Structure 1
Amino acid sequence: MSRRYRLSRRALETLDEKLYNYKDIENAIAVRKVEMEGEKTHYERAGGSSNRISKPVEDLVISWDEDEALRGMYAFRDQVDKLRRKINQDETMTTIFELRWLSATEPSWEEIGDSLFISRAQIYRKRQILLELFDKCCGGVW
């Protein structure tokens, strides 16, 4: 993989840890939406007449669109989905991704290599490629 720079060990670990959040992202989005449903909005008033017609559902959807936390969660989900589409043709990479970041057991890289009959050096090269692809999907922030 051609890059102008190489990711440091710490950057690779950070990306690795970040990808663990992917399996719970749908739940986190749903929880945030429920939290926002319970919050009082500035549109709710305790009385008095108004020229404004109340549209609680529309107001809720607008607040979801404006929420920075939800935007960040959606962006993260989209970035990981983009990575998954890129590695979709390589069955080994897809299997590694699913074993590492989607399984409940969270196996180590050595355990993944053993289960796929891949040497330690090969599994760490594939790890490097996966994490660099994810970094590229994120815009090279790390």
Structure 2
Amino acid sequence: MITDFARCADADWRMLMPVLNKDDLRELDREFTKYQYIADDKAVVWARIMHPWKPSDNNVGGGRSTGISKPEEEIALKLDDNPQWQRLELREQHCKAAIERMDDEQYNIYKLRYRAGNYYDWNTVGKLLHYSHAQIYRKRYALLALLAQECGMLSKDETKTGSSIMD
């Protein structure tokens, strides 16, 4: 029985580099979708952090507080300690960086897929931009690979994105 590695032994070494599978692409697609609501999500988390529910204090006229007296420091510490806030910040960072790296064509596809008022699936985006099924899915891969590179799922080296395998 010949293993995949044995079959690829004579192939170009770039063929052995990691590529995005179907599950990775679905996850990255969801990240871009969630990014569209990042401001709302951050506002909800911020409100929960800044105004937590507290039971009523029966100690009226009580003693001194031992907490931090500077509200700016308290806010910064609360945000730094909250994993949900950190995750949202990281998602925003990665998505912004990926969007900045997009060319005009990729950005148009991004706007149609994620920012349009209507929900367009990939086939509809392809039809609107006059791409075949195979073309739009290749462009989808390239677009999502930018986000994967920012997230650290792929190296930013072009040989690992699968785009230059045929060089």
Same fold (TM over 0.5): yes
CA-CA distance at 1:118 after TM superposition: 1.5
CA displacement at 1:59 relative to structure 2: 1.2
Contact 1:22 1:101 (8 Å CA) reproduced: no
Match of 1:5 in 2: 18
Q: Name which of 85, 89, 98 aligns with 2:111.
A: 98
Q: How does 1:57-68 map to 2 (within 5 A)?
A: 57-68=72-83
Instruction: Pick the structure with greater CA Rg.
Output: 2
Mapped pair 1:78 → 2:93: yes
1:136 paired residue among 149, 152, 158: 149
Show the counterpart of 2:31.
Answer: 18
Letter paired with 2:51: G
Report the TM-score, using the length of structure 2 for normalisation: 0.72
Aligned-pair identity in percent equals 27
Deviation at 1:77, TM superposition (A): 0.3
What CA distance in whole angstroms lies between the structure 2 residues aligned with 1:69 and 1:85? 24
State the distance in 1 between where 2:67 and 2:30 align: 47
Deviation at residue 131 of structure 1 after TM alignment: 1.2
Shift of 1:66: 2.1
Distance change in 2, residues 1:118/1:74 (3 Å) = same
For the 8 Å contact 1:22–1:102, the answer to whether it is kept is: no
Following TM superposition, where does structure 1 have runs of at least 4 consecutive aligned residues deviating by more than 4 angstroms?
Answer: 50-53
- Unaligned 5+ segments in structure 2 are 1-13, 155-167
CA RMSD after TM alignment: 2.5
- State the shift of 1:38 in Å: 1.4
For residues 4 and 66 of structure 1, what CA distance do their matches in structure 2 show? 36
- In 2 relative to 1, CA 33–82 (structure 1 residues): closer, same or farther, beyond 3 Å? same
TM-score (norm 1): 0.83
Residue ranges of structure 1 left out of the alignment (5+ in a row): none
The yes-or-no answer on 1:28 pairing with 2:41 is: yes
Distance 1:83 1:62 in 2: 29
Q: Check 1:2–1:96 CA distance in 2 against 1; reply closer, same or farther (3 A cut).
A: farther
Give, in whole Å, the separation in 2 of the partners of 1:121 and 1:51.
Answer: 63
1:107 aligns with 2:93: no
**Shift of residue 111 of structure 1?**
0.7
